[in-house]
Amino acid sequence: MDASDQPLDDTPSPRRPLWRRLAPVILLLALVAAALAGGVHRLLSFDALVAHAGALQGFVADNGAVAAAAYVVVYAALVALSLPGALVATLAGGFLFGGLLGGALAVVAATVGATVVFLIARTAIGDALVARARGAIARLADGFREDAFAYLLFLRLAPVFPFFVVNLAPAALGVRLKTFVAATALGIVPGTFAFAFVGAGLGGVVAQEAERRGACLARGGADCAARLDPSTLVSTPILLALGGLAVVALLPVAAKRLRRRKGPAA
C-alpha cells in the first residue's frame, strides 16, 4: 500500500470551532450565489464565445502570458464554484491557445479548482467524518483509501460521474491530498485534451455562427444566440475510449483482490 494512501493520522488534534470549519463552505456558497445572481454563468456559453471571439483572439495575440494566466484563473474559479460551462471553457482554451497549450492550461486550471473544493470539503466535514466513522462507513473509507489512486483515476476517466461529486467524495473518505491531486490531474488529461483539440478546430464554426448571429441581429431577430449542441462533440469513440481507460485504471485493484482470494485457498 502506497504511503500516500495510508489512513489519516489517528493522533488526536485540537478540534477547531464549528464556525471556523464551516466558514470556507459558507464563503464558497456565497460566491456561488453571487455568481449565479450576477449572471456570470451566462458568460460561459458558446454564444458569448462567438460574440467576443475577435476580441479574445486579439487579446491573446497581444498578451500571451497574461491571457494564459487569466484563462487558468477563470477556469479554476469556474470549477471551484461548480458553475456550468466547463465544456465551453475547455473548447475556448483550444480555440484561443491551440489544442496542446489550451489542453494543458485547462488541466492545470481544473486540477487547481478541484483541489480547492477538496480542501474546503475536507476541512469542513472530511476529517470529522473519518474520525467518527464506524462500521460499514469505516470499511468503505478504509477500502477506498487503500487503492485511492486507482479508484479516483477511474472516477475521473469514466464519463458518467459529475466532476464536483468526485471532488467531494474523496474528502469525506479521508483521501490524501497528494493522491487526490495526482489522480485528478492524470485522470482528466484524456477528456480535456480531446475537447481542447475539438475547440482548436472550431474556427470555421465560430465564424459561421458569428455571421449568422450578426445577420439575425441586423434583422432585429428576437433570438439570435449562437448555438452548439454538445452532443455533436461527444462522439461514441470518445466515450468508448474514456470508458476503456477507466476500466484499465481498475485492473490493479481487481488483480490485488484476486491475489488475496487465491492466497488463503493456496
Q: What is the pLDDT of residue 105?
A: 97
Closest to 151 measured CA to CA, from 233, 48, 257: 257
Q: In sequence order, which ranges of 122-172 are alpha helices (DSSP H)?
A: 127-132, 135-146, 148-157, 163-172
CA distance linking residue 111 with residue 79, whole number of Å: 9
6 belongs to a structural domain: no
Specify the pTM. 0.79
Q: What is the pLDDT of residue 19?
A: 60
138 belongs to a structural domain: yes
Q: Is pLDDT of 255 > 50?
A: yes
- Looking at residue 127, its amino acid is D
Q: What is the pLDDT of residue 142?
A: 65
| 228 vs 16: which has the higher pLDDT | 228
Q: What is the pLDDT of residue 100?
A: 96
Could you list the residue range(s) of the whole structural domain that residue 97 is in? 18-265
Average pLDDT over residues 228-240: 68
Q: Calculate the CA 8 to chain-centre distance.
A: 24
Q: Is pLDDT of 1 > 50?
A: no
Angle value at C-alpha 191, between 189 and 197, nearest 5 degrees: 95
| Joined grid coordinates for residue 102 | 489550451
3 belongs to a structural domain: no
Residues with Cβ within 8 Å of 59's Cβ and at least 6 positions away in sequence, in order, are 67
Average pLDDT over residues 147-155: 87
CA distance linking residue 96 with residue 108, whole number of Å: 16
Which conformational region is residue 27 in: left (phi greater than 0), alpha (psi within -120 to 50 degrees), or beta?
alpha
The pLDDT tens digits for 71-119 are 999 999 999 998 888 889 999 999 999 999 999 999 999 999 999 999 9
The pLDDT tens digits for 169-198 are 888 787 889 999 999 999 999 989 999 999
| 33 vs 108: which has the higher pLDDT | 108
156 belongs to a structural domain: yes
Average pLDDT over residues 211-232: 78
DSSP string, 13-48: -PPPPHHHHHHHHHHHHHHHHHHHHTTHHHHSSHHH
225 belongs to a structural domain: yes
205 belongs to a structural domain: yes
Please state which of the ranges 108-122, 206-220, 247-261 shows the lowest mean pLDDT. 247-261
Taking a C-beta distance cutoff of 8 angstroms, is the pair 113, 75 a contact? yes
CA distance linking residue 83 with residue 42, whole number of Å: 10
> What is the CB neighbour count within 10 angstroms for residue 30?
10
How many CA within 13 A on the CB side of residue 36? 10
189 belongs to a structural domain: yes
| Joined grid coordinates for residue 40 | 456570470
Q: Is pLDDT of 162 > 80?
A: yes
CA distances from 218 to 50, 212, 213, 224 (A): 16, 10, 9, 10
12 belongs to a structural domain: no
Q: What confidence tier does 136 reach under pLDDT thresholds 50, 70, 90? A: very low
Q: Helix (H, G, I), strand (E, B), or coil: what is residue 175? A: coil
- Domain count of the chain? 1
Q: Is pLDDT of 257 > 90?
A: no
| DSSP assignment letter at 52 | T
Q: What is the pLDDT of residue 106?
A: 97
